[in-house]
Amino acid sequence: MNTIGTARGLMRNRLAGVAFIFLPILLSGLVLRIALATTVWQELGGFISLLAALAVGLFHDLVFASYLAIPAVLYLALVPQRLFASKAQRIASWIFFACVWWFVFFQAAAEWIFWDEFGVRFNFIAVDYLVYTTEVIDNILQSYPVGRIVASIAAIALIANGFCCRTAIYKAWLNSDSRFLQRRGIAIAMLSVPVLATAFVSQSGMPHFDNRYEQELAKNGQYSFFAAFRNNDLPYRDFYDTAPGEEAMSRLRMMVSERRSLFLGSGGNPVRRKITSAKETIRPNVIQITVESLNADFMSRFGNTQGLTPRLDELAKESLVFNNFMATGTRTVRGMEALTLSVPPTPGRSIVKRPDNTNLFTIGTVFRANGYKTSFIYGGRGYFDNMNAFFGGNGFEIHDQASEPDEGVEFTNAWGVSDEDLYKWVLAEADKSAAAGEPFYQFVMTTSNHRPYTFPEGRIDMPSHSGRAAAIKYTDYAIGKLLDEARSKPWFDNTIFVIVGDHCASSAGKTDVPVNNYHVPLLVYAPGIIAPHEIDTLSSQIDYAPTLFELMGWSYVSEFYGKDILAMRPEEGRALVGTYQSLGLYRNNKLTLLKPLHVAESYVYDPSTKTQARSKLDANEYLDAIAYYQSAADGVATEPGALVSWATAGSAR
């Protein structure tokens, strides 16, 4: 009774009503964290560290609640007592607090869905998705029973609010009577909290957890969302460790140098060099199938036992296969960036999404210099993630759902046409180029292996909309069908087919950059042109273009950071892996990470157990990582989103 009496006393100042904003935020935050923790329970570091994550999370929830309460604090401080005591005010208060409950429950459901897809709280991906409402909303509508979810959230919110509004504490607040001078001081104190939080609380400054899942659980989703919105770009030199320019350039040139390369000049682009091939030059067509979210371990040759990729597994027996090939990032635009530009993943947004990203040195630059037609063929709408602007601005002809006729399209979902329909466009464009006597390079991007995982029924022995496994098997089926139809074409015998993953289906793990979640397949199939063989050297998506051109015996001026994988000695193998903040150099089972606020970390990776443990920072690995990323960042940005001269100059376009 004393506790209730004390609470009633506190509620006699109307500004105490902000407690009814804090309550749902703190309660839903706690329940959501516990629920998310249950999904990765075996991956967590222990009960004590989980409690620490919950405590840090509570702090971030309080900070977010202080922001959300600003309008209510101002209103309660300024509204006259006569209006506050009116019946209309009571009705408005009930509706307002019901909306607060609905909001926090709705965002909790949204975060659950986001976690299920990405294994993290809201981040810059969520910011990007707000731009592409058509694809995202359609995807959600096709993947989840949205009507039932929204109705359930509304019902729970009404029940929760009804319960709160029947309590004696709430009734005491409705009957509160306080003078303006009393309210003014309390209001100023309350408003100072978000002001101080803006100045002193940041995502980068939050306590660090070695376990990545615990790091994510400690966040507040909405606070993370707005932090990502504000900090989408990260100027390298402001946030990361650097090295003297000459030392960095010297190390970089040693790492990108090849037996038949000659660096051109001492200034400007530090990696610009002449590549001379000793092989006989050939001019085959190239169809590059970049497959959405294709992990290497979806294939049986890499340990899968579900039989999801029978066509790819058979194709591998007749292909040049790279067994240790790594994606640079965790999103499609990162894969596109690495495969076209051959650059490490610089911090912030992918170059594909930045302004002023036209007329760059790309894989298409070399193809067009050799008389090829270059095309970007995408099953969806290429304005998504700025893909059309990037490829179109760099000399590629665009073919996507918006530019191709609907006639003949048999199936579409939120992300675009089915892979089978996409490959119809691929074959049609190949036929046109071949008829014109024009060699061609096609960068093809699929969409079917993406939630909502729907595809034409009757193609495989698994139903549409039954999960990722079925989508992978359909993707495999469609690739097999493409090759079956291509074999009847007159241009088939002079065509190289490349199958490569853009990134893995999931990048989440105990650590910030889990190495095992960057392994993607690379198959080069060209019967009669390239002999089947397996390559075990550790390599990166940035090595794809240089390796392809060496397979064709081409000599050219290069601005690529990658190297010919076939010429690498095993000890030269390395991969550049990262997120939009963490930048990694992985080689010899060591992962060196560069992080914002000039933090560097080191891990030892065990391929047999796919685990990694913290280790002492190796000075050589550390300086080589800086050499890669400092140079790449200097080359693509002098300020957030602005590309500079050496990234666009110095070679024939």
The pLDDT confidence band at residue 229, using thresholds 50, 70 and 90, is low
Name the pLDDT band for 649 (thresholds 50, 70, 90). very low
Q: What is the 3-state secondary structure (H, E, C) of 389-416?
A: HHHHCCCCEEECCCCCCCCCCCCEECCE
Residue 289 lies in a domain: yes
Question: What share of the chain in percent tops pLDDT 90?
Answer: 71
Residues 82, 24 within the same domain: yes
240 in a structural domain: no
Q: What is the pLDDT of residue 652?
A: 31
Residue that wins the pLDDT comparison between 10 and 154: 154
Cα of 240 vs its chain's centroid, Å? 20
The predicted-structure confidence for 581-631, as pLDDT tens digits, reads as follows 899 999 999 999 999 878 999 999 999 998 999 999 999 999 999 999 999
Could you count the other beta carbons within 10 Å of the beta carbon of residue 477?
Answer: 21
Residue whose pair of structure tokens reads 């970089």 in the numeric block: 252
| SS (HEC) of 276-309 | CCCCCCCCCEEEEEEECCCCHHHCHHHCCCCCCC
Residues 6+ apart with CB under 8 A from 73: 15, 18, 187, 190, 191
Mean of the per-residue pLDDT values of the chain: 89
**What was the pLDDT predicted at 198?**
82
Number of domains in the chain: 2
Which amino acid appears at position 584 of this protein?
G
Hey, CA dihedral for 251, 255, 259, 264, is it positive or negative? negative
Residue showing tokens 């329970």: 41
**pLDDT (0 to 100) of residue 180:** 85
Clarify whether residues 218 and 292 are in a common domain: no
Q: What confidence tier does 499 reach under pLDDT thresholds 50, 70, 90?
A: very high
Report pLDDT for 230.
61
Q: What is the pLDDT of residue 645?
A: 33
Q: What is the pLDDT of residue 233?
A: 64
Same domain, 567 and 495: yes
Distances (CA, A) of 6 to 1, 9, 15, 47, 146: 9, 5, 16, 34, 43
pLDDT for position 225: 77
Of the candidate ranges 142-156, 505-519, 526-540, 565-579, the one whose mean pLDDT is the lowest: 505-519
Identify whether 108 is part of a domain.
yes
Residue 588 lies in a domain: no
Q: Mean of the pLDDT values across residues 136-164?
A: 87
Looking at residue 636, what is its pLDDT? 63
Please, which pLDDT band fits residue 244 given cuts at 50, 70 and 90?
very high
pLDDT band at 653 (very low <50, low <70, confident <90, very high): very low
pLDDT band at residue 203 using 50, 70 and 90 as cut-offs = low
The whole-angstrom separation of Cα 96 and Cα 76 is: 13
CB-based contacts of 432, cutoff 8 Å, min separation 6: none
Q: Is residue 616 part of a domain?
A: no
The pLDDT-based confidence of 176 (bands split at 50, 70, 90) is confident
Angle between helical axes of 221-230 and 47-68 (0-180°, round to 10): 70
Query: What CA–CA distance (Å, rounded) separates 439 from 124?
Result: 39
Residues 319 and 179 in one domain: no
Measured CA to CA, the distance from residue 293 to residue 595 in angstroms comes to 25
pLDDT band at 133 (very low <50, low <70, confident <90, very high): low
For 69, the 3-state DSSP assignment is: coil
- Domain containing 118 equals 2-230
**pLDDT score for 177:** 83
pLDDT-derived band at 239 (thresholds 50, 70, 90) equals: confident
**Domain end point (choices 545, 573, 601):** 573
Query: What is the separation, in whole angstroms, between the first and last Cα of the chain?
Result: 81
The pLDDT confidence band at residue 644, using thresholds 50, 70 and 90, is very low
**Under a CB-based contact definition with an 8 Å cutoff, are residues 411 and 418 in contact?**
yes
Return the CATH number at 452: 3.40.720.10
Say what the pLDDT of residue 132 is. 60
Q: Kindly state the average pLDDT of the residues 36-48.
A: 90
382 occurs within a structural domain: yes
Residue ending a domain, choose from 531, 548, 573: 573
